[in-house]
A and B are shown apart, each in its own frame.
Chain A
Amino acid sequence: MEQDGLLSEYRQRLLDALKAHSTQRRREEPDLLQVFVNQERVGTVACAATEPTFAFSCHERIVHSVEVRTEDGVLVGGLCAPEFGLRAARVPLSRDAIEITVHNRMDGGSVRVAYKAAPALWHRVRQAATSLASGISGTGSREPAWPRMLVLTQVALAAAVVVLWTDRMTGWLKPEPPVMPASQVSALVSATQARVDRLRQEVTQLAGAQTEALQTVQTQRQELEQLQRTLAAIGDTQQKLNDSVLTVQQNLGDRNKAVSREVEHLTRLLLSRADLEREQLRHELRTLIAANEALSKQMATLESSNQELKNRLKSAGMDMSKAVPASGESPAVAGKPKDSAASTQIAEARPDPQAQPFTFWVTFQEGTSEESIQHLIDEIHGRKGSVNAGWYPVEVPRPVGPPDRFLESIRQAKIVKAVSMSRAAAPGQ
């Protein structure tokens, strides 16, 4: 609680100080101003100097901020500088003012701080008189030189007239001179006449000088007007140049941005494409591996089937070789175990039912796989022939028990649809 109180007291004190500063700022009449650029103290402006101006420039870095403080540290003016270009501000200070100008370029920045004191009373009166003279002669107030000359000329003329008038008056007011001889009078008249002539010449010269002065003033005025027009034209050109530079920079910036955006987009596109292709390749590789594995399995199965077939062929060959001497058939017949017709002929040709293998016909349920069929055939140690209209001829060595019971046991297998002893009884034959 105590801490909160201390803090709020401190906060209030700071708020009061801020308010006091803003009031003090308006009343400040400093004798020395400190200039801070980018919070570094770079110089001072002596306000009483004939030309109270301070200029500063820094290379390789731009100006971010300008602060103007009094000698006791009160911040009286400041400016946040633009990143590029010119900015100026006029800060009122009591009756006076501070003019701050910042110019940031590509190679650095420059600052100018000028203290503008309010004009003194005499200066203001003189200015008013000048403007009045300008008003009378019908010229602008921007050229104070020639009206001053005009006034001076007028004053000189007035002085000359006063001298002449005084001279005349002193002549008239003098006491009556004593009567002089005619020769003296004529000499005096001629002397006076000479003086009058001289004064007339002087007046004529003065009038000529005035005319010349007026002409000079006129010429100067024309030259000044010309100079002002030239300056205005230069100003316009400079402004246009600045604008063009800015526009070019903006364009360059925009173009750079556009190019970088395009490059970025292209890169992103290429990367995404590469990613996609990589993913596809990976997928294909996986598929190929799986297919390869399946093929290997199939090959192994085929090899085992092949081996089994070879064994069977061998055993069938042996049977046939046993059967050949009895029947007188050529051994080539025994070399074709899968030929059902030949097998049937052999089966039918056996004279001894005990020595001959038992043959029967069997048909299986629809959808029964070859594997299941082969399994059943293997169980009964049989050998099946080529299928004919859904019926398989099966040959087994001598079955255990009577053939009917054997066939009945076969018929009870789930996959078996029907069993027949003879080929003629098989449907579709």
Chain B
Amino acid sequence: MEVALAADQFTGEHQLVQSAQRGDAHAFGELVARYMRRAYFAALGLVGSHDDALDLSQEAFARAFNARQRLDPERPFYPWLYQILRRLCFNFLRDRRTRRTRLEAATPWLVEDIRDRARAGDPARLAERADLRGRLERAIDVLPEREREVLVLREFEELRYREIAELLGIPIGTVMSRLYSARKSLAAALGEDR
């Protein structure tokens, strides 16, 4: 049943991509509606700011539409879109670091998972968690971009190693190595802050 549903979804996507390639903006709009959340959250994890994530993910869709003739309709749409998106995000991060003009993010981009709220309880614990969240955000913000990417895909998008490897076109061993380096840096950063 699940396989049949996945196949239907892919057939639908296949048709949408073909229609979009013929210039059908409505079909492309369907693809946007299907993947906008995923693209937005991927960008948010990479750049750590709502406004920038919105801007970059919308730009990725616009560029995907302009380059739609290069897309193979036999292949899934999202991994192709993600390649455009990650390149935009990495270039954005590089420019931001080079200019060194980044203002501190006005709003946090991480929140405590809703599953944990039942345990939240007293204000002291809430303050402690908010502090921890802030330190984690700052530590993630200074990770090398490829380590940050793998960490975000694993921790916040909850992809499995195989899915991450396929999305990025790298071996599973590389996924694990990047994840290890990212986690070591975060553990060290959180440990030092204490």
Say whether A and B bind each other.
no
Q: Which residues of A contact B (CB under 8 A)?
A: none
